[in-house]
């Protein structure tokens, strides 16, 4: 049974989500503030977190950063729930490691569909063989989610890791923006190419590819590893 943690200070939203999630076969726990939410995350070890942006004690975006910087929690997928609908806010959440973004008010069916989509992208088995991908002096350990350059570990966000992994797996082939958005962010991000371009820019900076010798931009199409 998959475990969902709801962190939201609006009691009626928590009760609505808890009722519907449990009716759909999920085990659910919840918290009403950011500090307790962080402790609950470590204790409950959920398979996915529904995280409100505006929270007491620790804001949702700051809590997201704490989760992504904690090696015991960093791989947990997070869907932001928020009344904020500005593109800049959405990009901030995605750049800080959110896996999806749902604007309030929302339908329960939408939340359930997003959860299913995100969990599907996170499926893995613990007994799979160790897989290491290589491109020039970059190595990607798929199982451990570790990226190194000339033996030195590079810290990437989950989205940056997923982009790099897909590009190396398809080395020599152009991956369209639509393909990358669909595989990494899901169906709801078609057309929002700015989100992808921002992540590519950050990825290039972190792996020392500012001159684009490794990750090539194919104008009007997408990206590829040379």
pLDDT band at 125 (very low <50, low <70, confident <90, very high): very low
Structural domain includes residue 127: no
- For residue range 145-180, list pLDDT tens digits in order: 889 998 889 999 888 999 999 999 999 999 998 888
Q: Residue 116 maps to which CATH number? A: 3.40.50.2300
Please state, in angstroms and rounded to a whole number, the distance separating the CA atoms of residues 24 and 57. Answer: 31
Query: How does 154-190 read in b/e, with b if 16+ C-beta sit within 10 Å?
Result: bebbbbbbbbbbbbbeeeeeebebeebbeebbbebbe
Q: Is the pLDDT of residue 91 over 60?
A: yes
Which of 183, 166, 50, 161 lies closest to 117 in space, CA to CA?
A: 183
Domain that holds residue 151: 132-225
- Which of the listed residues 87, 121, 155 is the one where a domain comes to its end? 121
The average confidence (pLDDT) of the chain is 86
Crossing angle of the two packed helices 11-23 and 108-121, in degrees rounded to 10: 60
Please state, in angstroms and rounded to a whole number, the distance separating the CA atoms of residues 173 and 225. Answer: 7
Non-local CB neighbours of 44 within 8 Å, separated by 6+ positions: 3, 5, 29
Q: Are residues 138 and 210 in the same domain?
A: yes
Q: Are residues 94 and 145 in the same domain?
A: no
Q: Residue 172 maps to which CATH number? A: 1.10.10.10
How much is the average pLDDT of 37-47? 94
Structural domain includes residue 7: yes
- Percentage of the chain lying above the pLDDT 90 cut: 51
pLDDT band at 126 (very low <50, low <70, confident <90, very high): very low
Predicted local confidence at residue 47, as pLDDT: 93
- For residue range 8-28, list pLDDT tens digits in order: 999 999 999 999 999 999 999
How much is the average pLDDT of 130-137? 83
Q: Where are the beta strands (DSSP E) in 89-141?
A: 100-103, 132-135, 138-141
How much is the average pLDDT of 44-63? 92
Asked if residue 106 lies in contact with residue 82, where contact means CB atoms within 8 angstroms, the answer is no
């Amino acid at each position: 049974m998959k475990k969902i943690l709801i962190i939201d200070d609006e009691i009626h939203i928590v009760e609505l989500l808890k009722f519907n999630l449990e009716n759909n076969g999920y085990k659910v726990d919840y918290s009403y503030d950011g500090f307790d939410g962080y402790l609950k995350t470590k204790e409950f070890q959920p398979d996915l977190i529904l995280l409100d942006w505006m929270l007491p004690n620790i804001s949702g975006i700051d809590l997201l950063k704490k989760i992504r910087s904690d090696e015991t929690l960093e791989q947990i997928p997070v869907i932001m729930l928020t009344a904020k609908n500005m593109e800049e806010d959405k990009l901030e959440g995605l750049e800080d490691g959110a896996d999806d973004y749902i604007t309030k008010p929302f339908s329960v069916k939408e939340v359930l569909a997003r959860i299913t989509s995100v969990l599907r992208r996170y499926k893995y088995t613990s007994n799979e063989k160790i897989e290491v991908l290589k491109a020039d002096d970059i190595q990607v350990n798929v199982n451990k989610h570790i990226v190194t350059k000339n033996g030195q570990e590079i810290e990437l966000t989950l989205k940056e890791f997923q982009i790099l992994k897909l590009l190396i797996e398809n080395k020599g082939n152009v991956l369209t923006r639509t393909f990358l958005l669909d595989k990494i962010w899901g169906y709801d991000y078609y057309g929002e190419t700015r989100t992808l371009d921002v992540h590519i820019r950050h990825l290039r900076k972190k792996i020392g590819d500012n001159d684009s010798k490794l990750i090539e931009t194919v104008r009007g199409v997408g990206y590829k590893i040379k």
